[in-house]
Amino acid sequence: MGIPNFVDYVKMQLRSGKGGAGIIHFMRAKFLPKGGPDGGDGGRGGHIILRGNKQYATLLHLKYRKHVHAPNGQTGGDGCKTGANGKDVVLDVPLGTVAKSEDGEEILLEILEDKKKYLLLEGGKGGWGNAHFKTATHQVPRIAYPGEAGLAAWIVLELKLLADVGLVGLPNVGKSTLLSVISAAKPRIADYPFTTLLPNLGVVAYREQGSFVMADMPGIIEGASTGKGLGIRFLRHIERNSVLVFMVEATVADIGKAYALLQRELTAYNPLLLDKPRLLVITKIDLLDSTARADLVRTIPSPIQTLFISAHTEEGLTQLKDAIWQALHPVG
């Protein structure tokens, strides 16, 4: 499935609520003219909370909410009544969302579970009323505390798609075609580079009851890790993939050279990406005769498990799904 209006990055100014003030108050009744202190505490300020929601696939619904402020807590009342807490603000986000500091250096939260709430900014505590300060030697306290200030910060939300398998390759290598053939996804396909401008997800059925989620990423070119082409915008999604499938077209002059380029770009972005299990898939193999196929094998790098496929004729697709499944579910 393609993801319409895909938004995977938003920056928001968030502020939790201020705590309500405690009050100074003394009990007064007809037959109790000098009652003790009964000033109540202020209520807590509202929290800012992120909640995982598997129904969302993008951050589009938050794109235009630049400023989000939680309500303040209410002032305490007489009779030791605590003020009402400020209402929490709950922001639903897709699974795989990461909350970061404004500069992007510090990861604050990772949202991985559906319906689970994650506290992002805590509301300020309510201040104590004067009832809190009564002691045997200080029976008429005339002191109360104001509520604590809430927290304010610019927060970056980044979505990293949760997919089992990520397709990595140069533009126009056949990633979208493969996804369209082995899943129900309908990505945009054309015979020119950078047809895929947004990630596409597809659920691939395997054998009788198995399945896995595959993500087709926009093509990577040399210099992508420094911002060329579509740059690093979509490389972050690869960080969530359990298995990486490197795809190289059969008609390129040197398979090893093309594979090395993809490795360099991923390493420059995040060296840990190459610690993931990976496969090398040679696409469009139907375009080569037996002699050309034999010549092709000489340029394949080793050691890496290599498979030959044609999405057009469906050659090798069963073997590819078997290899992916085994990589996702290693024995021992």
193 is in an annotated binding site: no
168 marked among binding-site residues? no
Would you say 170 is a known binding-site residue? yes
Q: Which residues pair with 243 in a beta bridge?
A: 165
CB atoms within 10 A of CB 74: 22
- Estimate the crossing angle of helix 317-328 against helix 175-182, to 10 degrees: 90
Q: Which of 48, 88, 78, 328 is nearest to 213 (CA)?
A: 328
Distance, CA of 160 to CA of 21 (rounded, Å) = 41
Residue 169 among known ligand-binding residues: yes
- Residue 216 counted as an annotated binding residue: yes
Helix (H, G, I), strand (E, B) or coil at 177: helix
Residue among 306, 221, 217, 216 nearest 264 (CA): 221
303 upstream amide cis, omega within 30 of 0: yes
Is 171 assigned a ligand-binding role in the annotation?
yes
Rounded CA separation 232/11 (Å): 17
Q: Please indicate if the annotation marks 311 as binding a ligand.
A: yes
225 labeled binding residue:
no
Q: Is 312 annotated as a binding residue?
A: yes
Ligand-binding site membership of 172 (annotated): yes
| 176 annotated binding-site participant | yes
| 61 CB burial (10 A radius; 0-12, 13-18, 19+) | middle
- 229/159 Cα distance (integer angstroms): 20
Lookup result for tokens 């604590």: 148
Helix (H, G, I), strand (E, B) or coil at 128: coil
Q: Find out whether 92 is annotated in a ligand binding site.
A: no
Residues belonging to the binding site for Mg(2+) are 176, 196
Residues belonging to the binding site for GTP are 169-176, 216-219, 283-286, 310-312
Residues belonging to the binding site are 169-176, 196, 216-219, 283-286, 310-312
